[in-house]
Structures are given as C-alpha cells and as structure tokens.
Amino acid sequence: MSSSLRIAKQDMDQLVSALTSRYRLFGPVDVDGATVLREVKSADELALDAALDGPVKAAFFPQTEMLLSYDGTTSEPPPGRDKPTAVLGVRPCDARSLLLLDKVFGTGKYRDSLWQRRHDDSLIIGLGCGTPLETCFCNSMNLGPFDSQGSDIMLTDIGDAFLAESCTDKGERFLKAAYKSQVQRPSQADLDKAGQVRGKALESLAPAADFSGVKAALATLWDSALWDEVALGCLSCGACAYLCPTCHCFDVQDETAPGTMQGRRVRIWDTCQSALFTKEASGHNPRPSAKERIRQRVMHKFSYFVDNFGETACVGCGRCIRLCPADFDVRLVLERVKVEGKSGKQENRQGRQERQEAGTKDVRHAG
C-alpha cells in the first residue's frame, strides 16, 4: 500500500539527511542564475521552485566520465562507487527520460555497466510541475505534469509543505525507514490543496498536440526541402543535445599526459549536431551540413528510436526550445512534418535507400 505524508518545507533537512545517509544525493541548485543538477549535502542548497536547465541524465551518465586509467603497461578500472545515487526534485519529464535511457544503457542487448551501477539501485524523488512553462509539451508526449512514471516518490508543493506519496515499493520502504513514527499524515485540506495544484497545472498547459502520425510522415520526407528550411534556423551549436534528457551519444578519448605513457580514457557527451560527429578517417562526412544533422536529430527521436525501443525519444520537456540560442522549436518542425508528410509527397527510391543506410548507422550510434 502506498504511503502519503506531509513534509513541512522547514523540515526538509530531515529528508535530505535521511537521503544523504544512504545515497549520494543530487538535486537542482542555482548556479549564477541557472538551475543545474549538483550533488547536495543540505536542504539549503536546493532550488526546487525553478525548472531544471540541465538534464537529470547527468547523475547517471556524467558529461565526462573516466572509463580506465593507464600507464603504458597496465590499465585500471575507475574507482568503485561508495553509495547508490538518489535524485531529489526530478520533474516528471526527466523521470520518464531515465526510463528511456535505461532501454539504451541498462536493459537492452548491450548493457553499460557504468550506467547500471548508478541507476539500478537509485532512488528518484519526483516533484510535480505546479506551473508548467510555455515551452512544456509533456502532454503531447503521453505524459503529464504530475505523472509518476520513473519516480519512486512524488512530491506535490502545497504551499508551506510537500505532500509526499510513494510510487514504488522502494519509495515506500524509504519513507517508512526515514520517518518511522514521526510521520505527519496529510490533512484533508492538504489533499484538497494538492488536487487544486494538479488541476491548475493541467489547465495551464496548452492543449496536447497529436504527434501520432509523425513517424509515418517522416518516412516520406527523407529528401524533402523541409530540412533545408529547418536547417536555416539552426546554428549547429549542439546545445539542444547536451540539454536534452534523452540524448545519449558519446565520444571516447584517451588523455595522455605530455611526454608520458600515463593517462586516462574518458567518455564525453557528444552530439549529432557537430560536423565532426560523423566525419570519417577518409575525410568523407555522410552528414556534411546542418540539413543532414538536424534531420538526423528529428529522425532519431521520432523514428529510429521508435523502431529500436517502441517509444519516442522525446518527453516534451521543452528545454531545447527554451534554451536554443536560435529559437528553434521542435514542436513547429513536428507540425510541418505532419502536414508535409501527408501532402502526398512520396519517398523516392534513392531517398529510401539513403534513409535505410543511415538508419543502420544510427542503430550503432544509439549506444
């Protein structure tokens, strides 16, 4: 049976202490006006009101991560972890993104041990979105601002307190162990307030768009002029991929100290928006311009990922819209895809062959 309890905001230190005693805890922190994910030790550090500007994937798939160290004759794996990972204040879109990344790194044919050791026994404490942003479109991606998929515990901000509800057995066990007999049960007024907050959040979201036809439409648009036009509005900076909670491509590099054989092998987030991403040793680049790269971003999220894992690799967080320096809006691209893909344009033989070849490559790039 799931528990619900009332956690006064002035008592958040108790929750944070219970978490840090058992977990390496990450949460949203304000750094120079941006809300980013950081390891936290006390409740004072948390910035729970603002939407996270960086993706939660960083807690499980760091931007830079050592795979091994070497000295020319031997190599050593990275040090083991000391505690499992917990993340506090995860919005529903980000919580769901972890389930999608787990399909890539944790549960498929090829499993990533570094992801698994952080993610498998983690604790995710979600925080419902009381005030969705204009750029949010989770409701168009079969989600909602209080969806509990991927969260072990869900918090709802009810003013001077959070209503905490367990969503999994793991979350239930944690709440029982952390609060024991000191549990403050929510009053009927608390439950009513939580209902109002959720209702208001749903009302404030723009009506859900129907993107169900996008995959089929994309199949007819491989060599469409649409991509030339879309690419005009993109700087190829890659910010959208680094900020996206579901993007997961990485590069592997050896960093050797000058004049020695000592160094470390690291993996680093990479992006298909970079011109170097697909540049081959021969100098040939199958995605030489922004047109091919932005097409790849859209195709991967809304077609290839569906082929590989049965779901769209977008959770509607809107971060790529909110933080793109060129105001690129993926929602508008999807609307155009729906319209132009249905306009009778047929994929030609060359386009189909190129798409199939690229699709094969993209399966490899999907990690």
Contact residues toward ligand SF4 (CB under 6 A) are: 234-240, 243-246, 273, 301, 314-320, 324-326, 328, 330
**Which tokens hold the place of 216?**
């089929």
Question: Shortest approach of ligand SF4 to residue 334 CB, angstroms?
Answer: 10
| Torsion of Cα atoms, 193 then 199 then 200 then 206, to 10° | 160
**Which tokens hold the place of 222?**
């491989």
Q: Which is nearer to ligand SF4, 167 or 315 (CB)?
A: 315
The DSSP output letter for 301 is I
Q: Which is nearer to ligand SF4, 40 or 93 (CB)?
A: 93
Question: Shortest approach of ligand SF4 to residue 271 CB, angstroms?
Answer: 7
Question: Shortest approach of ligand SF4 to residue 328 CB, angstroms?
Answer: 3
Give Cβ neighbours of residue 168 (< 8 Å, ≥ 6 apart). Answer: 151, 152
Q: Which is nearer to ligand SF4, 52 or 240 (CB)?
A: 240
CB-based contact 88:13 (threshold 8 Å): no
Q: Which is nearer to ligand SF4, 6 or 338 (CB)?
A: 338
In the β-sheet with 263-269, what is the strand arrangement from edge to edge? 75-76, 64-70, 263-269, 250-256
Cα distances (angstroms) measured from residue 45 to each of 16, 35, 86, 179, 280: 10, 11, 15, 22, 45
Question: Shortest approach of ligand SF4 to residue 52 CB, angstroms?
Answer: 11
The owner of tokens 């895809």 is 337
CA distance 184 to 7: 7
CA distance 349 to 105: 34
For residue 148, give the 3-state DSSP assignment.
coil
Q: Which is nearer to ligand SF4, 119 or 301 (CB)?
A: 301
Question: Shortest approach of ligand SF4 to residue 128 CB, angstroms?
Answer: 18
Torsion sign over Cα 294, 299, 302, 306: negative
The owner of tokens 């036009």 is 229
Q: Which is nearer to ligand SF4, 177 or 326 (CB)?
A: 326
Question: Shortest approach of ligand SF4 to residue 73 CB, angstroms?
Answer: 42
Q: Which is nearer to ligand SF4, 158 or 315 (CB)?
A: 315
Question: Shortest approach of ligand SF4 to residue 60 CB, angstroms?
Answer: 16
Residue type, 151: S
**Which tokens hold the place of 33?**
């006006």
